[in-house]
Amino acid sequence: MRINAIVATRMTSSRLPGKVLMDLAGKPALVRLIERLRRSKYLNDIVIATTTNPTDDVVMETAKSQGAKFYRGSEEDVLLRTVEAAEATGTDFIVQITSDCPLIDNETIDRVIEQMLEHPYLDYAANQLVRTYPLGCSVEIFRTAALRQVEETISDPAVREHVSLYFYEHPELYNLSNSEAPQFLRHPEYRLTLDTEDDYQLIKSIYEALYSIKPAFDLYDITRYLERNPQLAAMNRHIVQKKAR
């Protein structure tokens, strides 16, 4: 049984083009994300699922430089790209992490994976069905076979763009589970996702403050830092997150 992180990544973000290569403590955001994913107890491989667009050659080269696996597929059909990347790398369980989450930590990832492994009847486990974690700490896990079934039967453009959408929009068809944050980490108002320049300035400040002291800093460290510096947590609070529908 192979549990792999599939990270859909491309350079042509509409809000912040090239964000995956923006500098965080001396390395591109994508490199920092790969570093953090590698600390998981359960992930066998990290697969960067990028596109065939020549602008994403640099994404492929970055993945190769870090010893991560990569797959190149459709630019617009993210669902197809994800399932093809999973099948090409022998993935049984897809752990979906978005490339705009360079602050995700291994404890958060592993808590969701354990939820799935401890309850074999589940089809989908996540920590964002009811949001108790900060935005930017989302983790989802589901079977590659189930995603392929969705890919073969659902043409809805929103589903093709937002890979796991069909699962949680249809709780009558799937067994779903949501992991909630420990009390100290319950800050759904924090925005730790990399989607705008203000997001970048916040995430950059967190890396500058914490990385040199503790490269494997976790969500507890981030939360303590933001509680001590509430003006930082407020700097991107005005940004409206794009919804799947």
The arithmetic mean of pLDDT across residues 158-181, rounded, is 97
* CATH numbers and ranges of domains, the chain: 3-233 (3.90.550.10)
pLDDT > 70: percent of the chain? 100
pLDDT at 243 over 90: no
The arithmetic mean of pLDDT across residues 6-19, rounded, is 92
pLDDT at 76 over 90: yes
Q: How far is CA 170 from CA 112, 123, 173, 176, in A?
A: 20, 11, 6, 9
Question: How is residue 59 written in tokens?
Answer: 């994404």
pLDDT-derived band of residue 29, with 50, 70 and 90 as boundaries? very high
pLDDT at 119 over 90: yes
